[in-house]
Amino acid sequence: MSLVTVGTVAFDAIQTPFASSGKIVGGAASYIGLSASQFAKEQHIISVIGDDFPQSFIAELESRGVNTEGLECRKGEKSFFWEGKYHMDMNSRDTLTTDLNVLADFKPVVPESAKQSDYVMLGNLDPNVQASVLDQMAKRPKLVVLDTMNFWMDIALEPLKAVLQRIDVLTINDEEARQLSGEYSLVKAAQKILTMGPSTLVIKKGEHGALLFNQDEVFFAPALPLEEVLDPTGAGDSFAGGFIGYLAHTDDTSFANMKRAVVLGSALASFTCEQFGTERLLSLTQGELDERIQRFVDLVDFDIVLKG
Amino acid sequence: MSLVTVGTVAFDAIQTPFASSGKIVGGAASYIGLSASQFAKEQHIISVIGDDFPQSFIAELESRGVNTEGLECRKGEKSFFWEGKYHMDMNSRDTLTTDLNVLADFKPVVPESAKQSDYVMLGNLDPNVQASVLDQMAKRPKLVVLDTMNFWMDIALEPLKAVLQRIDVLTINDEEARQLSGEYSLVKAAQKILTMGPSTLVIKKGEHGALLFNQDEVFFAPALPLEEVLDPTGAGDSFAGGFIGYLAHTDDTSFANMKRAVVLGSALASFTCEQFGTERLLSLTQGELDERIQRFVDLVDFDIVLKG
C-alpha cells in the first residue's frame, strides 16, 4: 500500500568525540524514506528544500520508488540546517546551530496522487504542520504514525494533544514518554498515553531497545549491542521508516505484525548508527539486512519448558 | 548438584522517595540463597552474623534446603548493617550508613560437607575473601560465578584481577563493565573482560535487562517493564541466585542453558523489586514464577521469515 511521509529533508553537521561529518544530507524524511524503501514500493515524501540541496539525493530517493511531487524546492532559498555535538556517551547531544531557512514557513501540500494513501508517517515537526497533512487526506488513512519530541511538548503541547487524537501509533523516547504522561514508570506512562489518542505506543530507548504497547499487550525489541556507534543521528527516523514501511508493504496492522515491524525498524536503526548521516542506509544490501535480522532473532532466542 | 554461596547475611534499612523499610533482613547471600532455592535442592551458605540476627530467617533458609553449617554466629557481636537512600529514579542511591561489625574480620570457613561442591557463587565481597573460599575447595569446581562492584575496582583492583583468573562467570553492571575494561562500548568491554579470566560475562543493566556474552555468542534478556518498583535492593543478588541455582540444579553449563538461567534470574529479580527486602521472595509460589516466566517469553516473542 502507498505510504506518505511528511518531514524534513535537510542538511546536518555532526560532531562526535571521535569525528566530524561536515555538512551532509539529513532530515527525518530522508531517513524515513530510505528506510521505508527497503519494504514499501510506493511512497511519497512531502517536504521543503532550498535550491542548495543536492539533486543527486533526490534522484536516489526517486530510484527507490519515492514520489517527490510533494517535495517543494524554493529557488534562491536555503535548506534547513542543524548542527549538533554528541557527548562522550554518544547518546546525549547539544544543538550548536538551527537555521530554519525554508522550514520557517513550511506549509506542506499533499499532492492529489498521495491523498488516497492508507499509511501516513508524520515525522517530527510542529504538530500544527503534522495536523495539516491529515486535513488534506481524502479519507481517514488506515494507519497514522506520529513522531515528536520534547521540544514540541515544551512549546506546543495543546496542538500536540490535538493531533494525538487523530493518530494510531506514537513513537517517542523514554524521557519524552515520562514528560508527556507525568509518570516515571514506563508501564504507567504507556497506560496514560494510550488514553490520549494513539492505540499503540512505541517507546524508543536508544541503545536499550524499544517497547511496543497497546491496551493489552507489550513487546520488547532489544537494540543490537554494537561495537562502535559512529553517529546515532537519524536512528529514530530510520526506525520509524522501517516500522511503517513494513506495515504499509504487508498491509497488516495487527500487533503480531507490528512486533515484526519494530524488529525491522530496530535493525535499520542499527545500520544508521554505523556511519555518518544516510551513508549506511544508502549502501545497505538485502543480504546485510537479512543477516542483521537473524542476529536480532538469535539475540533474544531461548527456550524454557515451564514446570507448571 | 550442590551449590556453595559466600556472601553477606545482614541487616539493611532502605529509604525510597515513597517509603522506608526500617531495619530488615538483607545481604547478598540471603537473596542468593532464597532465589537459588527455587531450583537448587542442596546448597550451603557461608557467611557471618552477630547474635542480633533473627533465628527465624535462618530457619526459613534451612527449610528451603540451605545448609547453614558455614554460617558463623558470633556471640555478643552485631551483624553487618547497611543503610541507603534511593533517588527519584529508583536506580541510583546514596549509602547513609555502613557498619561492618562482624564483617570487618570475616574469614570464611568452608565446612567439610561443602568442599566437594561443583557450583560456587562468590557474592560481592572483598576479592581476597572470595579467593579464600576457592582456596578451601577440595577440587576445582565445575562452575564459579563471581559478583563484584565498583568499590572493589577502586580499592582492590589487583586482588580482584587475581581472583578473576580463577572463575568462570562474572556478573557486573554496565558501568562496572566500563570501569573494569576502560571501554565504553559494552561489546568491546565484554571482549576485553573475557580475556581477564572469566569465559562468560553477564552485564546487568537494571531496568534495561541483562546481556550474556561468551567468546562467540551474545544473548539479551529484557527486564520486565514493571508498573511499580518499590525497592530494587537485592535484585542483582536475586538474579545471581536464580542464575547459578538453575545451572546447579540442571548441572548444565552450556550457553543454551545459561540463556535460560539468565531469564530465570531476571524473573526472580523482578519479584524482589516488588517489595522491601526479601519479602517477595519469601512469599513467592511456583505458580507465580511460572506465570512470570511466561511473561518473559511473550515479551520478546516474534516471528520473522527472512526473504534471503
Tens digit of each residue's pLDDT (9 = 90 or more) over B95-111: 999 999 999 999 999 99
Q: How many Å apart are CA A120 and CA A40, to the nearest integer?
A: 12
- Residue B144 Cα to chain centre, angstroms: 12
Partner-chain contact B307 A286, CB within 8 Å: yes
The whole-angstrom separation of Cα A210 and Cα A202 is 7
Whether residue B74 is predicted with pLDDT greater than 90 in this model: the reply is yes
Cβ contact B167:B143 at 8 Å: no
**For chain B, what is the domain count?**
1
Chain B residues with CB inside 8 Å of A222's CB? 209, 220, 222, 300
Kindly report the nearest CA distance between residue B290 and chain A, in angstroms.
6
Alpha helices in A64-166 (DSSP H): 127-136, 150-155, 157-164
* CB-side neighbour CA atoms (13 Å) of A73: 9
Contacts of A90 in chain B (CB under 8 A): 184
SS3 B42: coil
Going across the sheet that includes B20-26, the strands are B20-26, B10-15, B81-86, B93-99
Q: Please list every residue in chain A whose beta carbon sits closer than 8 Å to the beta carbon of residue B263.
A: 302, 304
On whether any CB of chain A is under 8 Å from the CB of B264, the answer is yes
Q: Is residue B307 a part of any domain in this protein?
A: no
Residue type, A219: F
Q: Which amino acid appears at position B134 of this protein?
A: L
Is the residue at B201 inside a domain?
yes
B41 shares contact with chain A (CB less than 8 Å): no
Do the domain assignments include residue A308?
A: no
- CATH label of the domain that carries residue B76: 3.40.1190.20
- Give me the torsion for CA of B277, B220, A211, A186, rounded to 10°: 20
Mean pLDDT in consecutive groups of 10 residues from the start of chain A, 308 residues: 97 95 98 98 97 98 98 98 92 92 96 98 98 98 98 97 98 97 95 98 95 96 90 96 98 98 97 96 97 95 77
The pLDDT tens digits for B189-239 are 999 999 999 999 999 999 999 999 999 999 999 999 988 889 999 999 999
Total residues belonging to chain B = 308
Q: Would you call B214 exposed, middle or buried from its count of C-beta atoms within 10 A (0-12, 13-18, 19+)?
A: middle
Go through A266-287 and write b for each residue having 16 or more CB atoms within 10 A of its CB, e for each that does not: bbbbbbbbbebbbbbbeebeee
Locate cell 535442592: which residue? B41
Chain A stretch 123-182, residues whose beta carbon is closer than 8 A to a beta carbon of chain B: none
Measure CA A23 to chain center.
Answer: 21
> Nearest by CB to B208, which of A208, A228, A306?
A208
The answer to whether B211 contacts chain A (CB < 8 Å) is yes
Summarised one tens digit per residue, pLDDT across range B122-150 is 999 999 999 999 999 999 999 999 999 99
Domain assignment of residue A248, yes or no? yes
Tell me the percentage of chain B whose pLDDT exceeds 70. Answer: 99
Enclosing domain of residue A126:
3-299
Within-domain flag for B166: yes
A184/B89 CB distance under 8 A: yes
Q: How far is B259 from chain A (nearest CA, A)?
A: 6
Q: How far is B21 from chain A (nearest CA, A)?
A: 21
Distances (CA, A) of B107 to B51, B103, B129, B152: 17, 9, 7, 17
Site from A298, A304, A305 to mutate, B interface, most B CB atoms within 10 angstroms: A304
Q: Is B304 a member of any domain?
A: no
Residue B107 lies in a domain: yes
Determine contact, residues B239/B266, Cβ cutoff 8 Å: yes
Q: Which residues of B218-233 are buried (b: 16+ CB within 10 A; e: fewer)?
A: bbbbbbbbbeebbbbb
In this predicted complex, what is the ipTM?
0.90
pTM of the model: 0.93
Residue type, position A65, single letter: G
Give domain status of residue B174, yes or no: yes
Give the SS3 label for residue A101: helix
A86: exposed, middle or buried (Cβ count in 10 Å: 0-12, 13-18, 19+): buried
C-alpha distances (whole Å) from B183 to each of A78, B129, B206 are: 41, 28, 19
Indicate the residue of A88, A90, A185 with minimum beta-carbon distance to B227: A185
CA neighbor of B82 nearest in space, from B3, B181, B11, B166: B11
pLDDT digits 0-9 by tens, A184-222:
999 999 999 999 999 999 999 999 999 999 999 999 999
Helices A286-299 and A255-272 meet at what angle, rounded to 10?
Answer: 110
A225 — alpha (psi -120 to 50), left (phi > 0) or beta? beta
B40 CA: distance to closest CA in chain A (Å): 14
